[in-house]
Amino acid sequence: MIVYGASGHAKVIIDLIDSIGISSIDYVVDDNPDVTSILGYKVEHKLSGAMTTLDYIIAIGNNRIRQRLAGELEQKPCLPLVHPTAVVSTHSILDVGTVVMASSSVNPSVKIGKHCILNTGSLVEHDVELEDFVHISPGAVVAGNVKIGTGTHVGAGAVIIPGVNIGKWVTVGAGAVIIKDVPDNAVVVGNPGRIIKYNSNKDD
């Protein structure tokens, strides 16, 4: 397996892979020449032909960069990675490249798209749909029957109440409480959540 990325988020992904013990890390790749190793793994800065035959995980927290890199890579993404302490219902579906971190929970009838991140201690309740490249931060709670659009970032400790629809590329601030639908690209903070601006379409 190839791990793309060698920053703080990559450390958590590498630890997750090591904890599972069912797959080995063949390469860690990052374009930052100043990073030479991470958690005992050598960091490569260029792709080689041998790498194209291996599956991969994108260990980058930024949703737009993760989306762009997934579109550029030719090899197949890995199956979902679930930490041994996480609880994922057998009645839910996780797509390729998605990671579920330690102490997270995914309840029944949940559908999670490609390359999503369910970070440490997050909770995704029943009948939730997460589209591709969504990031649910540590300690965030997504209540039942919520839909979250592509590329949305839900901040640490945020709460989304049941039945709310969140648009694409939304940023939900840390600790926010979302009680009504949120349009695409909005940045929402506070309790109750309020829109303070709109995201651009650039990597940030």
Is residue 45 marked as binding? no
What residue spans in the chain does CATH classification 3.40.50 cover?
A: 2-72
Residue 46's pLDDT is 81
**Nearest C-alpha neighbor of 148 from the set 125, 166, 132, 124:** 166
Is residue 91 marked as binding? no
Is residue 155 marked as binding? no
Residue 147's pLDDT is 99
Residue 49's pLDDT is 67
Give the span between the Cα atoms of 134 and 48, in whole angstroms: 29
Residue 202's pLDDT is 56
Residues of the chain with pLDDT under 50: 203-204
Residue 79's pLDDT is 87
What residue spans in the chain does CATH classification 2.160.10.10 cover?
A: 81-189
CATH for 2-72?
3.40.50
The pTM assigned to this predicted structure is 0.93
Tell me which amino acid residue 160 is: I
Is residue 61 marked as binding? yes
Q: How far is CA 21 from the centre of its chain?
A: 21
Residue 204's pLDDT is 46
Using alpha carbons, list the distances in angstroms from residue 94 to 29, 91, 113, 175, 187.
25, 10, 6, 26, 26
Residue 22's pLDDT is 67
Q: Within 10 Å of residue 187's Cβ, how many Cβ atoms?
A: 19
Per the annotation, the verdict on 126 as an active-site residue is yes
* CATH-assigned architecture of domain 81-189: 3 Solenoid (2.160)
